[in-house]
Amino acid sequence: MAKNIVTVKGTKEGLIFYFNTDGVDLKELYSALEIKMAEGSAFFNNSAYIIDKKAALGDEAKQHIKNILKSHGMVEPVPKATVKRPKRPEPVYESEPIKGIAPTVYTAKDGDTVFIRRSIRSGQSLHIQGNAVIMGDVNIGGHVMATGNIIVMGSLRGIAHAGIHGERNAFIIAWKMQPIQLRIANILSRSNDNDNQLSTYPEKAFIDDTTIVIKPYEESKRLKMKEIVIA
């Protein structure tokens, strides 16, 4: 019976959880959900969850379900308003890691480039002395700072700050530019709720006068950088 209480459907936004509450008490529902999560732990880990809006559940029950899903590594879906192309930059004058998170520091030899061969998860903060190449995604809640340029060979959905010591010629490139916040030198640009367009091609963010602008990246302009691999 447990398998009929909880069903899951995959969508582009995340995994939708449907609950059959007919003749089922909450204790039985929670147990069925725990069994479902245990059966597909690898599948659910780091996936976004959505609770069916039509489910006959109170706020307390929904919160308990969310706690179960999060305990198995699932994350809340990204609101559309938080992945918009940034506009209207504001000046800032210092770079700080996410509050309460001590950054992991990597230093490139000769001030060149550090390659990070993994995605940056929520709650991770990196401080790169040199250029940074992230061979993965920077997820919401992730923070990458670099004294030089930042290249994300995946989706940039968190925070990126290039040229943290004031290098205004620094830039940020991402295969999918969907940041919560961008910083270059002392210029800040946040996500814009009125911009509904998401990039489907690599883009480059750079300073133009006093503003951060984003334009399609020209592949012909390739960088020559020494490689330092961080597992």
Looking at the structure, do residues 121 and 34 belong to the same domain, yes or no?
no
Looking at the structure, do residues 104 and 184 belong to the same domain, yes or no?
yes
**What confidence tens digit (pLDDT) does each residue in 38-97 have?**
887 777 878 889 898 888 888 899 999 999 999 888 888 766 544 445 544 443 333 455
Question: Can you give the pLDDT at residue 144?
Answer: 94
CATH number of the domain within which 164 lies: 2.160.20.70
Query: In which domain, by residue range, is 27 found?
Result: 2-71
Residue 22, pLDDT > 90, answer: no
Residue 185, domain member (yes or no): yes
| Domain-terminating residue out of 71, 99, 126 | 71
Whole-number Å distance between alpha carbons of 30 and 216: 47
Residue 230 pLDDT class (50, 70, 90 cuts): very low
- Number of domain units in the chain: 2
Looking at the structure, do residues 194 and 221 belong to the same domain, yes or no?
yes
**Average pLDDT of 128-134?**
92
**Average pLDDT of 23-28?**
88
Residues 140 and 120 sit within 8 Å (Cβ to Cβ): no
> Beta strands 187-190 and 87-91: pairing type?
antiparallel
Looking at the structure, do residues 47 and 159 belong to the same domain, yes or no?
no
Higher pLDDT, 91 or 173: 173
| Domain-terminating residue out of 22, 43, 71 | 71
Q: What is the dihedral of CA 69, 100, 152, 162, to 10 degrees?
A: 160
Question: Can you give the pLDDT at residue 11?
Answer: 81
Residue 213 pLDDT class (50, 70, 90 cuts): very high
Question: Can you give the pLDDT at residue 199?
Answer: 60
Looking at the structure, do residues 118 and 37 belong to the same domain, yes or no?
no
Residue 76, domain member (yes or no): no
**What confidence tens digit (pLDDT) does each residue in 176-201 have?**
999 989 999 989 887 654 444 556 68
Residues 48 and 15 sit within 8 Å (Cβ to Cβ): yes
Task: Report the share of the chain in percent with pLDDT over 90.
Answer: 34
Residue 138, CA distances (Å) to 50, 72, 155, 175, 224 in order: 21, 21, 6, 11, 23
Question: Can you give the pLDDT at residue 72?
Answer: 86
**Average pLDDT of 149-162?**
94
What's the sign of the alpha-carbon dihedral 7, 10, 11, 16?
Answer: positive
**Average pLDDT of 94-111?**
62
